[in-house]
């Protein structure tokens, strides 16, 4: 895990807002209020955004980076319970509570994001109905994904889980090549390195993927989808921008406020 500082990049914030699905869904009024508070940043792979040793002072909206959410045990064993790309946001638990979040958010694929102070976002969350709707719908979706991940890890075989994981990550990337080692894959999937190597070899022999010198590529997307467990289609339905948009706009009752200080 790297502690390389985020670098400010001279980019057009308005343009970056269009690249994140949650920010793009906001009304013009809400977006204009957030605009002066959003800072474009570059997130290097391996950078830790949140965890026990981190203040939780910011929320990030990825625009091209991909971040994994992991729960780490005392013996440093970990397992992933969520993936966030340009469809979502990282650090939302700190928006709802001042309690320390023990989960880690680690950048898997380096890229860009928009960063905002938690306190500023919290204040806008109070003021803006559409910001509240979209962030609560997204948080609900991520809770569903975490619950599904528990069932997936318990009941689905590693081969199928690896296919699902690859598809979910690649869907959030612009290219088809991911830099990842077997060690990292094993940590994210919560299995031994040998087991993930064996599964990856099976997928390579079936010509679904290629893993060479730490670079993983999908060769046959349809084949990979056919081999993935049901969790891939389910996760896509849950966090797709269309699903969030429809749910937020179908609502007639105001979203209840969450309890926070
Ligand atoms: Zn599954």
181-233 residue pLDDT tens: 999 999 999 999 999 999 999 999 999 999 888 889 999 999 999 999 999 99
Cβ-based neighbours of 204, under 8 Å, separated by 6 or more = 210, 211
Where along the chain do the CATH 1.10.10.10 domains lie? 157-228
29 alpha carbon – ligand 1 mean position (Å):
40
130 alpha carbon – ligand 1 mean position (Å):
32
151 alpha carbon – ligand 1 mean position (Å):
7
Look at residue 96 in the predicted model and tell me its pLDDT: 83
Cβ-based neighbours of 186, under 8 Å, separated by 6 or more = 192, 193, 195, 196
Query: Would you say residue 252 has pLDDT above 80?
Result: no
Between these two residues, 85 and 259, which has the higher pLDDT value? 85
216 alpha carbon – ligand 1 mean position (Å):
21
Kindly report, residue by residue over 150-186, the tens digit of the pLDDT: 999 999 999 999 999 999 999 998 888 899 999 999 9
What average pLDDT score do residues 24-31 get? Answer: 93
What average pLDDT score do residues 74-78 get? Answer: 83
181 alpha carbon – ligand 1 mean position (Å):
22
Q: Which of 19, 241, 8, 260 is nearest to 115 (CA)?
A: 8
What average pLDDT score do residues 46-55 get? Answer: 75
Contact 86, 62 (CB under 8 A): yes
In angstroms, the CA 185 to CA 216 distance is 11
199 alpha carbon – ligand 1 mean position (Å):
15
Look at residue 253 in the predicted model and tell me its pLDDT: 41
In angstroms, the CA 110 to CA 232 distance is 23
Look at residue 203 in the predicted model and tell me its pLDDT: 96
Where along the chain do the CATH 2.60.120.10 domains lie? 7-148
In angstroms, the CA 48 to CA 64 distance is 16
167 alpha carbon – ligand 1 mean position (Å):
12
160 alpha carbon – ligand 1 mean position (Å):
7
- Identify the three-state secondary structure at position 160: helix
153 alpha carbon – ligand 1 mean position (Å):
7
Look at residue 12 in the predicted model and tell me its pLDDT: 83
Query: Which range in 4-8, 102-106, 115-119, 213-217 is most confidently predicted, on average pLDDT?
Result: 115-119
Domain 7-148 has CATH 2.60.120.10: yes
Topology given in CATH for the domain delimited by 157-228: Arc Repressor Mutant, subunit A (1.10.10)
13 alpha carbon – ligand 1 mean position (Å):
37
Percent pLDDT > 90 in the chain is 68
Q: Rg for the chain (alpha carbons), in Å? A: 18
Look at residue 81 in the predicted model and tell me its pLDDT: 93
Query: Would you say residue 3 has pLDDT above 60?
Result: no
43 alpha carbon – ligand 1 mean position (Å):
29
What mean pLDDT is reported for the chain? 86
């Amino acid at each position: 895990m790297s502690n390389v500082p985020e670098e400010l990049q001279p980019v057009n914030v308005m343009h970056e807002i269009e690249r994140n699905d949650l920010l793009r869904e906001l009304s013009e009024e809400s977006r204009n209020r957030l605009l002066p508070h959003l800072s474009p940043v570059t997130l290097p792979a391996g950078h830790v955004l949140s965890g026990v040793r981190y203040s939780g002072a910011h929320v990030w909206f990825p625009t091209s980076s991909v971040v994994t959410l992991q729960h780490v045990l005392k013996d440093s064993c970990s397992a992933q319970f969520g993936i966030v790309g340009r469809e979502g946001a990282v650090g939302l638990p700190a928006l709802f509570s001042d309690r320390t979040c023990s989960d880690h958010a680690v950048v898997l694929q380096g890229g860009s994001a928009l960063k905002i102070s938690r306190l500023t976002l919290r204040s806008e969350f109070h003021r803006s109905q559409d910001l509240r709707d979209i962030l609560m719908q997204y948080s609900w979706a991520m809770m569903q994904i975490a619950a599904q991940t528990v069932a997936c890890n318990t009941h689905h075989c590693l081969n199928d889980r690896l296919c699902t994981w690859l598809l979910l990550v690649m869907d959030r990337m612009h290219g088809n090549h991911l830099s990842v080692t077997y060690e990292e894959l094993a940590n994210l999937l919560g299995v031994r390195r040998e087991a993930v190597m064996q599964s990856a070899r099976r997928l390579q022999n079936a010509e679904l993927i290629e893993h060479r010198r730490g670079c993983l590529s999908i060769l046959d997307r349809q084949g990979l989808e056919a081999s993935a467990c049901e969790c891939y289609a389910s996760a896509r339905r849950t966090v797709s921008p269309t699903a969030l948009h429809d749910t937020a706009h179908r609502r007639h009752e105001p979203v209840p406020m969450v309890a926070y200080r």
